Structure 1
């Protein structure tokens, strides 16, 4: 028996025969690969949603009945108070009987309501993310012509030609050390590598996600101010990505790697941009967060140059693949 921990769906489907998942309220073991588990979860969630709908209808009926019984008691009490010249003993006795009966029925209804509320399933869902994307009026945002990048003793790649047009999602692929991150650095003029040919970035309104998160430090408020972010939007995105509110007081460098990645992602999503430069955005993210990003990018389809190895991401989103 072997244990494997990974967020690569295709890899997991190829090697595992049981899936142990930490769900919101339980630890769930499913026989089969990740895709099998996800299909099972979809069926469970669909059934639970139908049961929730039935339970909510029943709760509405019970609460309406409870309100009616409560109104009985109030009406009886008002009748007693408003009949100052009537037989107090008779009215008081009748009111007491009505109030006692209403109180008994209401207690029973409240017990049923409590039981029904406990039967509601807490279904785990992924919140929908937003993107501060501003589509450029320019046709092409990145152009590489006969581009060569090299160290003094090693060439990374040569004679590379490609364009990134507005509205395109372009994926950079290649083995580690082939120059994918270096191309990003060259694009931003931040590399000391030897460069031949031309590489043009036609916008200053871009949002960058780096692999190295060590520069992200301090409080969330200071980080948001440094990056000129809408603080409310920034915190909203963090919450949707699954960071609990109590963590908001934690300094970024003291967070887990997954949480630090979510801080960087929230910054990228909140930044107004015509172009997104993302270096391995799925690293450190679980499948729920990956689905959130996939849904967001598939819906908005922003202009993007992305370094990513995840085949599921590439298959679903890439308009063009550049291999180094």
Structure 2
């Protein structure tokens, strides 16, 4: 399959806090991915790197296709009107429309190159469903609880939640090849969340979403990528969010089994160390044959001391690597 996103040898952090350490990641065209992990593990940072908004300290990040990105907090000026925010999100489509209009005006006398360009742009416009852009915006605003919102209102006149819903509607207005969404359900009610689940599940392009909403993740994600804060690495899991939960449960069961085996081995090594040390002490107390004892005890003591050291070393290794 064609790759849409590729990270190679990516390391990144802030100050002395390292979040990602030499990670590699490929997300293919049409793949629907959930990014999960502990708070502060670097999920949002990873999403910004994938979006090309933040350059990694080391390594490369490459994307193929148009990217639509939603941050947890939108970055639009509060002086923007709702209409200006919508227009900004549709700027690429507006530019495509203007170029098509220009070419259409000269079709009667067009050269072959112009006709070829017009056909290519017309195909792109149709694939992006440019004719339905305005109706998509209205539908998105309505489903997100903002139906009938006056486009002349400034973002600053809206509540924080309303602003974030406008930002989400704008990202979804022009269906990008790659959607990167950071906690998109934070300000949605049940109706809006259900609509977004259906919208993302039906998206033909690539979807990468950071979310704690398990219902959304179950419905949307075919792949789960976990960001591990301790290892500063990522792990890929297939078979959707439920497959991820099953694999994590199996991993924990394996860890519990290994831990119990380690405890048993540690106890056995401790008993062996205690037993050998006890025998050595008993041998030192025997005094029936002074010369024979010294010879036998000296030889045995060396062997016993070696066993004690070996047992203690094995115990030390077990304690160091639980």
Q: Structure 2 length normalisation: TM-score? A: 0.52
**1:225 counterpart SS class:** helix
* Inter-partner Cα distance in structure 1 for 2:45 and 2:161: 24
Tell me the residue number matched to 1:261. Answer: 164
* Inter-partner Cα distance in structure 1 for 2:151 and 2:28: 37
**1:198 counterpart SS class:** strand
Cα distance change on mapping 1:211 and 1:188 into 2, 3 Å: same
1:133-180 C-alpha deviation (Å, 9 max, x unpaired)? xxxxx7110112232212231101223222111111111112222222
* Inter-partner Cα distance in structure 2 for 1:231 and 1:216: 22
State the superposition RMSD in angstroms: 2.2
* Inter-partner Cα distance in structure 2 for 1:200 and 1:264: 25
Residue 275 (structure 1) aligned with residue 275 (structure 2): no
Residue 207 (structure 1) aligned with residue 68 (structure 2): yes
Among 150, 162, 166, the alignment partner of 2:25 is: 162
Cα distance change on mapping 1:276 and 1:254 into 2, 3 Å: same
Among 219, 238, 250, the alignment partner of 1:316 is: 219
* Inter-partner Cα distance in structure 2 for 1:294 and 1:244: 19
Tell me the residue number matched to 1:119. Answer: none
Cα distance change on mapping 1:246 and 1:296 into 2, 3 Å: closer
Tell me the residue number matched to 2:319. Answer: none
Residue 147 (structure 1) aligned with residue 10 (structure 2): yes
* Inter-partner Cα distance in structure 2 for 1:165 and 1:298: 16
Shift of 1:278: 0.7
* Inter-partner Cα distance in structure 2 for 1:166 and 1:202: 9
1:116-195 to structure 2, matched below 5 A, reads: 139-191=2-54, 195=57
Q: Structure 1 length normalisation: TM-score? A: 0.52
Tell me the residue number matched to 1:307. Answer: 210
Number of residue equivalences = 185
Tell me the residue number matched to 2:196. Answer: 293
Tell me the residue number matched to 1:93. Answer: none
Contact 1:209 1:265 in 2 (8 A): yes
**1:234 counterpart SS class:** helix
1:33-44 to structure 2, matched below 5 A, reads: none
Rg larger for: 2
1:218-233 to structure 2, matched below 5 A, reads: 218-228=80-90, 230-233=133-136
Contact 2:184 2:211 in 1 (8 A): yes
* Inter-partner Cα distance in structure 2 for 1:246 and 1:198: 42
> Where is the helix percentage greater, Structure 1 or Structure 2?
2
